[in-house]
Structure 1
Amino acid sequence: MANTIIHSAFFLVPPEVQLLDITGPAHLFYEAKEYGAEIRAHYLGMENKVQEFSSAGLALGNLETFSDFSLCETDILFIPGMESHLFYAESFKLKYHDFFEWLRTQRNQGAKICSVCTGTYILAFAGLLDEKNCTTHWKYFDDFKSRFPKVRLLSDRLLVKDGNLYSSAGVSSGIDLALFLLEELYGPVFTAKVAKEVVIYLRRTENDPQLSIFLQYRNHLENRIHQVQDILAQNLDKKLKIENLAERVCMSPRNLTRLFKKTTGVTIGNYQDKLRVERASQLLSKGEKVHAVALMCGLSSSNQLRTLLKKYKYPLPNKLQL
């Protein structure tokens, strides 16, 4: 491996931590170590405790004291989210004054400070995000903006990097953030091996929105429409006829068309286009050729793909030249 620098990865374990916020990134760094990366992991308490309980009730122990460590440019610190009633409390900032002061010092010393989900609140309370770009879980946008007006909160962003400060939208995006950092440290080939090891089919990037089109329009209880949506998402390279879709769910084409629009708020054609646009953007970001991407998305030519991307004004990587 080209990168032979020893990196220390620190994972904060605050009270009532959201489990996936911390275990997702921690496991990715563990797998990276298994693949030969020189990584030392530490788990820190936000208070002088050797054990904390997660929001799910699971105890996390053998915690080290944050003040025993001084981080540098080769170090990474993950700040996961916690239950909202804790950071909503008026006493929160005063209670963790010492930790916030320590956190500011680590930022100034060049450590990579990475928040997952509502961990962004901890960075903001410490004053690290003033005049900086960041993101957090979509559910907290309004509250976050009102509490921290000096912070430039970016909505509909999965990951945001501003200098040595990193933030991610929430829960599973901590895994994307961990992969993003591993790629910065060890390159895309190594990171692809780690992603494959944990069976992550498609890595998301800082250009991806928080709510993927593959997840949007699914907040309903109409099973037949869910079936159609699954068929469309799994067969983007094929030209599916409305008659065949309707037959699969035992409906007439007319009823399917009507029910799909009533249930999701978009037409079948519009939904399929949105799926293709997001998939195309992901493939292009990975370096796939334009013509190959068009075929993989069920389009007959590069020109069709260009027209579709232009129609939906989808954000593409700056390096992309169509």
Structure 2
Amino acid sequence: MISNRVIFFIFDSVHLLDLAGAVTVFYESGCCGKKYDLHYVSPYVNPQTSSGLGFTNVEPLNSITVNKNDIVIVAGMEIEKWNRADDHLWILWLQVAAATGATVCSICTAAFALAAAGLLDDQNCTTHWSWTTVLQERYPRIKVVENKLFIKSGRIFTSAGIATGIDMALYLVEEQHGVDFACTVAKDMVVYIRRDGMDVQNSIYLQNRQHINRYVHQVQDYITKHLHHKITIDELASMVFISPRSLTRLFKSSTGITVGQYINSLRQEKAKRLLKENYKTAWVAKECGYQSTAQLRRLVKETYN
């Protein structure tokens, strides 16, 4: 079942962009046709941001009962001002939320809260690069990974901080509504989907996008939406006003693979997904840009062998 409720957990001294970036993703999703029910909860009556801006109209924790279809996002806070004497106000609520099977996410330093609640024990996780060492030292049972935008461990997500909360939120939207819609939301926000997955089983749509070259991102977005067409290097190059040779070189240096490899990977990924959803092979072949059903069967067979 697709959840349309996202609950943002706000500590005192919350970092504004940690919160606002993820909020904007789900808000813009509604503007693009997939509406979310957004709630803001806190163990404090009037929490403040680390930059001094205050919040009103924040719901108390006990007013929200989390269910398994909810998404709970804990925004990062200023660790030096994080009052651990107040743990009794929120730890049980967060533990119960996770126990229901809800998706529980941390942005930036909020990984410390998930770790304090025991939600990251024996799990891979991450946080802002300047806090990874401290997080590992304070919570030796967890496995802190560096140089990742975000990490998924079951239904627990941790992100590296600040703008990476946007990447994680876009991933959650993609999980529920598909990569085409996630790209639409990203375009509406004037950002690029640059997320990479931790494991090979994660969608190829999320891999090879951790670079910052806007021309290559533009090409990747176009490819994603036009897999049913014949796509040529000349066509892609003219779209970003560079030569085919320059695009070939630029794409490989930015993503680590060639344009052809990228197109083939996306086509195989989409074909496998559609076949699992029991669409007819002939339609899948056409939708994914294959010349024949025989070519589709051969490529999918090679992938599995």
Give the partner amino acid of 2:14: V
Q: Structure 1's 82 and 284: CA in aligned 2 closer, same or farther, altered over 3 A?
A: farther
Following TM superposition, by how much is the alpha carbon of 1:274 offset from its aligned partner in structure 2, in angstroms?
Answer: 10
Per-residue deviation at 1:288? 2.2
TM-score normalised to structure 1 length: 0.64
1:83 deviation in Å?
0.8
Equivalent residue, structure 2, for 1:288: 263
The equivalent residue for 1:70 is: 65
1:174 lines up with 2:171 in the alignment: no
**Alignment partner of 1:59 is 2:54:** yes
Are the aligned partners of 2:10 and 2:40 in contact in 1 as well (CA < 8 Å)? yes
Shift, 1:282, TM fit:
10
Query: Structure 1 residue 279 and structure 2 residue 255: aligned?
Result: yes
- Contact 1:236–1:276 (8 Å) recurs in 2: no
Residue 105 of structure 1 and its aligned partner are, at CA, apart by: 0.4
Q: Which amino acid is the alignment partner of residue 25 of structure 2?
A: L
Match of 1:244 in 2: none
1:8-41 CA-partner distances (Å, limit 9, x unpaired): 1011121111111110110110111122224210
Runs of at least 5 residues in structure 1 that lack an aligned partner in the other structure: 216-233, 241-272, 291-318
Change in Cα spacing, 1:236 to 1:156, as seen in structure 2 (3 Å) is farther
Asked if 2 retains the 8 angstrom alpha-carbon contact of 1:180 and 1:205, the reply is no
Alignment partner, residue 224 of structure 1: none
**Partners of 2:258 and 2:25 in 1: CA distance:** 21
- RMSD between superposed Cα atoms in Å: 3.2
Q: 57, 68, 81: which is aligned to 1:86?
A: 81
Greater shift after overlay, 93-102 or 145-154? 93-102
Check conservation: 1:284, 1:320, Cα contact below 8 A: no
- Bigger radius of gyration: 1
Is the alpha carbon distance of 1:127 and 1:288 closer, same or farther for their aligned partners in structure 2, counting shifts above 3 Å? same
Does the 8 Å CA contact 1:176/1:205 hold for their aligned counterparts? no
Distance 1:123 1:187, change over 3 A: same
Runs of 4+ in 1 over 2 A off after TM superposition: 205-209, 212-215, 234-240, 273-285, 287-290
Tell me, in whole angstroms, the C-alpha distance in 1 between the residues paired with 2:89 and 2:252: 49
Quote the residue 2:276 is aligned against.
none
The answer to whether the 8 A contact 2:126-2:158 is kept is yes
Candidates 24, 40, 43, aligned match of 1:43: 40
Q: Secondary structure at the match of 1:141?
A: helix
Aligned residue-pair number: 233
Cα 1:237–1:128 shift into 2, 3 Å: farther
For 1:197, the equivalent position in structure 2 comes to: 188
Match runs of 1:95-244 below 5 Å = 95-207=86-198
Identity %: 31
> Deviations along 1:122-159, whole A, 9 cap, x unmatched?
10111111111111111111111110000011111111
Pairwise mapping of residues 262-273 of structure 1 onto structure 2 (< 5 A)? none
* Counterpart-to-counterpart distance in 1, 2:169 and 2:79: 23
The answer (yes or no) to whether the contact 1:214–1:275 under 8 Å persists in 2 is no
Paired residue type of 2:51 = A
Distance 1:138 1:30, change over 3 A: same
Q: Secondary structure at the match of 1:74?
A: coil
